[in-house]
Each structure stands twice: as C-alpha cells, then as structure tokens.
C-alpha cells in the first residue's frame, strides 16, 4: 500500500495469476501508426493499446480506416494482433505481441443508424466514445455551452453497445450527458483518457461526482498525460503521480488506469481537422502542444511506472493501474452481456426449435459446452405434455429442443418432434455419434452472436444472410467428435424446399 495508510479499497485489486510479466495497457492513443510509433510501443513494454480508428469519419470512410488496420495487422503480424476480448489481450502478451483494441472517439461512424454498430463490432471495434467535444445526435460534448444530456437516440445506441459487448467511453462528453450514460448503461463505462478537474480545471477533465459515479458502477478512469489536460508541459512527473495516487485514494485503486492520449506523427493540419471535422468551414490554425520531458512517447512508460512507485505504489497497486483494471473491464464488457445478467436477453435469441437425431448427445453438448440449464419435458408420440421428467424418460431419439432466454439462465425445453417427415432433411452431414440439430430462429445474426458468446467460436462470421428481407431462417448444427459445423439455410416458403445459402465452419469449443 502507499505508505501503509491507504484506504481498504486498495486491497481489492484483481488477481491474474497466469500473467508472468507486468501487463501494461494504454487506454487510448490516437497516433498516426507509423513503424516508428510501433517501435515505441515495443520499447515501452506496452502489452495492449486502445487505438482510435475514427473520429469524424462517416460510415464509408470508417470502413476505409478499418481496412487499413486489417492491412496493418497483416504487415506487422510479428508484433501486432487485433484484440476482440480480454483473452486475446493475454494471449498477445504471452506471444510477445501488442494487442490492439480498436475504438472510435465519436459516434459519427454510425451516422443515424445504430445497426452500423453491429457491422463495426463484427470488424473488431470494441470501444465507442459518444461524442467528441461537440453536440451530436447521441449526446452533448464537453465544449458545448449547454449540455442537453443523452438523447433518445443516444439511449438506443448505448443499449445496442451493451448488447454487442462494446465499451461506452465518455471522454470528451459533457457532464450531464456522461451522467445520463452511466445511468442508461447496463454495463460499466469508461473515461479512457481524462483527469480529475481538481488537478487541472479544464472542461475536458472530470468533476468528482462523475468520477465517483463511474467507480460505483465498477467503471475505469484512464489518466491522461496530454499536456493541455495536466496543466502544461512544466508539470513534473512527481506532481502527475501524486495526482494519480490521490485519485486512487478517492475512487479506489481498482478504478484507476492509464490512458495517455498519445498523438504521435501528425501534422498541425491534422490537428485542425481533428478538432473541427467538417463542422467549421473556416477553422482557426492550431499547433500540437509541447509534451513534457518525462513522457512524450510510449517508450516513456517505464519512467512513468517508476514515478508511480516513487510516490508509494506497491507492486499489487501498480499492477492494477498499469493494466489489470482495463483487463477486468474488458472481460466484463466485451462479453456482450449486461453485468447483472447471466445470459443473453430473450429478445436476442427468441425461441428456436432444434431437431435432434441423438438426444443424449445433444443434451451433453448444450449443457457441457454452452452452459444451458435443461428443463425436461415429457415426450410422447405426436404430442407433448408439460410434465417435467428426466432425460432417461425421453425414450425417443428424434425430438425438438427449445431454448428460451431468461434473465437468470437459459433453459432447454424438450418437446416432441411433430413433423417426422422432416427428420432426415439434414441427415446428409451427420456423423456417427454426433448430435445433428436443425435450428429455426427469428434472427440468424443474433443467434450467431449468442452462440459465439456461449463459447462457440466462428472461424468466419456468416456473410450471406439476407437480414433485410428475411431475418429468419434455419441453422443446422452437426456436432462431431472433433469439430462443430454450422449450415446457414433460408427459411422455406410454403411448398418450397430448403435452399442452402452458405456454410461456415466452427472450431470445437475447448
């Protein structure tokens, strides 16, 4: 503890026993990602970084930026990897690579359509800041003279982010809008790059009541080293680290992290564009501030960590602030499930009927691999009753299993297979000893996300689903001894046959 006198909250840091070296996560950088900047990350021992890939871009230009990142990952595959989960962050560290969590510093990329969040999530985006200094359709920025709060549209955006597993970031967001977002979000939120307003009185920094509210909801505050928000480049390392220590006392060490806001390799013209987007056709000239001597690139992180040690951070506290607090938040939020729910909401998966050729194998698959709770229903010839029975009482092989999403669990109801003529529709891909399931759903994309969240990892996502004209359909699972295959098929119209529209492979759950 710091000087042996810190709050008991300093004893509540998370433990990640499988991490052998210091996990260092920077909560926000907005660099021009040149090879030199990548070298600086490596030199600084950075394990993971949340990289801004869009601010003012519309959907088309945002996709350009995301494709640039795909190419960057391919060019630098020896040292960079996309992180979609906390597990990806840990795996990257163990493999000696830097994990990159992609994020937006504005909601401009979704334009007026929250469904674009789904697209960006599929492409790897995991953090979205609600606004960048100014008013938009979602919320008010911190530089607006009047903060009108989170809009109705903004609440839809936050709800969709919660469902997908995207972190709500309220840096650059107005105070009232931030408080609204904390209240509206089912998951913890973050201020990825800010400082207490008592340290530097700037509207980009955060007042005490909001710092407390973020911590109360188990969120994380990333302290920034950006000169304008610490009081200028003459602020010393000791002064900055004293601020971090006081903030840890104030809200708890498990809610404090690092978010440098490094902005390397940009020109002054880039800064003008960053500050204004296309909102101001005649913007004022601007220059990047001079950074302090003790921190100006990611290679300076070791000096910053030494500064925190010098003001009293012991190793457990330092480990929490350096990266484990971000890791805990990523693990909580990136699952796509609200913090108070054990499963996906009912609206996400609806009700689905699985035709099963091997009932016992199917039950084992759903319970052991996907975590379902099985509610058994008595199976009779051509009918079913609502009496609860054990699996051993289900004497027929062909049956229907109906999963129903609940707030406190997901249940499987065993029902009679009422249309025996369809039992062999998908039998061609069954394997001996496998469970062969045909699933009718109301939303194929939602089922894909739900299955992924339960541990079924798609090698590639379904990409031929006509979600505009017909969101429903059938999915056929064939569970073999070594793999799990899924076939996406179109919902049949009366009198028509089932037409395959695409097949994807999945890796067997481990």
The answer to whether position 445 is within a domain reads yes
Residue 236 tokens, joined: 């010393």
Task: Name the region of 261 (left: φ>0; alpha: ψ -120 to 50; beta: rest).
Answer: left
pLDDT(228) > 70: yes
**pLDDT class of 93 with cuts at 50, 70, 90:** very high
Q: State in Å, rounded, how far the first CA of the chain is from the last one.
A: 39
**The last residue of a domain, from among 333, 368, 392:** 333
For residue 21, what pLDDT is reported?
75
**Residues near 75 by Cβ (< 8 Å), separated by ≥ 6?**
none
**The last residue of a domain, from among 278, 310, 333:** 333
pLDDT digits (tens, 9 = 90+) for 438-497: 343 444 455 455 555 554 443 333 433 333 333 333 343 333 333 333 333 323 333 322
Clarify whether residues 390 and 285 are in a common domain: no
**Rounded distance, CA 479 to CA 399, Å?**
16
Clarify whether residues 317 and 223 are in a common domain: yes
Is the separation of the CB atoms in 188 and 219 below 8 Å?
yes
**pLDDT class of 347 with cuts at 50, 70, 90:** very low
Clarify whether residues 36 and 151 are in a common domain: yes
How much is the average pLDDT of 214-223? Answer: 97
pTM for this prediction: 0.66
**pLDDT class of 151 with cuts at 50, 70, 90:** very high
Clarify whether residues 418 and 450 are in a common domain: yes
Clarify whether residues 142 and 241 are in a common domain: yes
The answer to whether position 4 is within a domain reads no
pLDDT digits (tens, 9 = 90+) for 413-436: 443 332 222 333 323 222 222 233
pLDDT digits (tens, 9 = 90+) for 263-321: 999 999 999 999 999 888 889 999 999 999 999 999 999 999 999 999 999 999 999 99
The answer to whether position 14 is within a domain reads no
Clarify whether residues 357 and 310 are in a common domain: no
Question: Which has more pLDDT, 477 or 130?
Answer: 130
pLDDT digits (tens, 9 = 90+) for 171-195: 999 999 999 999 999 999 999 999 9
pLDDT(509) > 60: no
Overall number of domains in the chain: 2
Clarify whether residues 269 and 228 are in a common domain: yes
The answer to whether position 7 is within a domain reads no
Clarify whether residues 110 and 194 are in a common domain: yes
The answer to whether position 339 is within a domain reads no
Instruction: Assign residue 305 the CATH number of its domain.
Output: 3.20.20.140
CB atoms inside a 10 Å sphere around CB 235: 17
The answer to whether position 11 is within a domain reads no
pLDDT digits (tens, 9 = 90+) for 47-90: 999 999 999 999 999 999 999 999 999 999 999 999 999 999 99
**The last residue of a domain, from among 282, 306, 333:** 333
The answer to whether position 9 is within a domain reads no
**Rounded distance, CA 335 to CA 339, Å?**
9
For residue 348, what pLDDT is reported?
25
Clarify whether residues 240 and 362 are in a common domain: no
Q: What does the DSSP assignment read for 270-334?
A: HHHHHHHTTS-SSPPP--PPPPPTT-SSGGGHHHHHHHHHHTT--HHHHHIIIIIHHHHHHHHHT
Clarify whether residues 323 and 354 are in a common domain: no
**pLDDT class of 148 with cuts at 50, 70, 90:** very high
Q: Which domain holds residue 52?
A: 24-333
């Amino acid at each position: 503890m710091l000087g042996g006198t810190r709050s008991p909250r300093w004893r509540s840091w998370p433990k990640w026993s499988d991490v052998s070296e210091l996990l260092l996560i920077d909560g926000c950088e907005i660099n021009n990602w040149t090879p030199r900047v990548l070298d600086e990350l490596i030199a600084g021992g950075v394990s993971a970084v949340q990289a801004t890939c869009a601010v003012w871009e519309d959907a088309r230009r945002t996709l350009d930026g995301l494709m640039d990142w795909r190419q960057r990952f391919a060019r630098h595959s020896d040292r960079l990897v996309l992180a979609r989960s906390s597990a990806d962050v840990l795996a990257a560290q163990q493999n000696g690579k830097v994990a990159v969590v992609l994020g937006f510093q504005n909601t401009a990329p979704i334009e007026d359509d929250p469904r674009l969040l789904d697209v960006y999530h599929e492409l790897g985006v995991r953090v979205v800041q609600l606004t960048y200094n100014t008013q938009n359709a979602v919320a008010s920025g911190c530089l607006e003279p009047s903060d009108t709060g989170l809009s109705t549209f903004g609440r839809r955006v936050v709800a969709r982010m919660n469902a997908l597993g995207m972190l709500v970031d309220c840096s650059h967001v107005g105070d009232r809008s931030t408080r609204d977002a904390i209240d509206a979000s089912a998951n913890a939120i973050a201020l990825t790059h800010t400082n207490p307003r008592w340290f530097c009185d700037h509207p980009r920094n955060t007042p005490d009541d909001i710092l407390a509210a973020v911590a109360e909801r188990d969120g994380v505050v990333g302290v920034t080293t950006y000169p304008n928000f610490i009081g200028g480049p003459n602020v010393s390392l000791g002064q900055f680290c004293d601020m971090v220590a006081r903030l840890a006392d104030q809200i708890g060490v498990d809610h404090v992290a690092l978010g440098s806001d490094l902005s390397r390799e940009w020109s002054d013209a880039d800064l003008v564009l960053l500050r204004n987007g296309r909102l101001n056709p005649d913007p004022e000239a601007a220059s990047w501030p001079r950074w302090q001597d003790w921190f100006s690139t990611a290679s300076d992180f070791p000096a910053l960590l030494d500064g925190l040690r010098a003001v009293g951070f012991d190793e457990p506290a330092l480990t929490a602030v350096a990266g484990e607090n971000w890791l805990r938040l990523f693990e909580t939020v990136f699952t796509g499930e609200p913090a108070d729910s054990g499963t996906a909401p009912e609206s996400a998966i609806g009700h689905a009927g699985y035709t099963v050729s091997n009932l016992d194998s199917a039950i084992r698959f759903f319970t052991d691999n996907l975590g379902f709770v099985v509610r058994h229903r008595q199976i009779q010839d051509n009918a079913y009753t609502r009496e609860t029975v054990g699996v051993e009482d289900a004497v027929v092989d062909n049956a229907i299993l109906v999963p129903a999403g609940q707030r406190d669990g997901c249940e499987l109801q065993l029902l009679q297979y009422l249309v025996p003529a369809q039992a062999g529709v998908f039998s061609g891909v069954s394997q001996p000893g496998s469970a062969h399931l045909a699933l009718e759903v109301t939303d194929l994309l939602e089922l894909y996300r739900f299955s992924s969240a339960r541990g079924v990892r798609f090698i590639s996502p379904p990409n031929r689903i006509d979600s505009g004209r017909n969101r429903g359909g059938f999915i056929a699972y064939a569970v073999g001894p070594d793999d799990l295959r899924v076939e996406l098929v179109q919902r049949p119209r009366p009198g028509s046959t089932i037409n395959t529209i695409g097949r994807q492979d999945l890796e067997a759950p481990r």
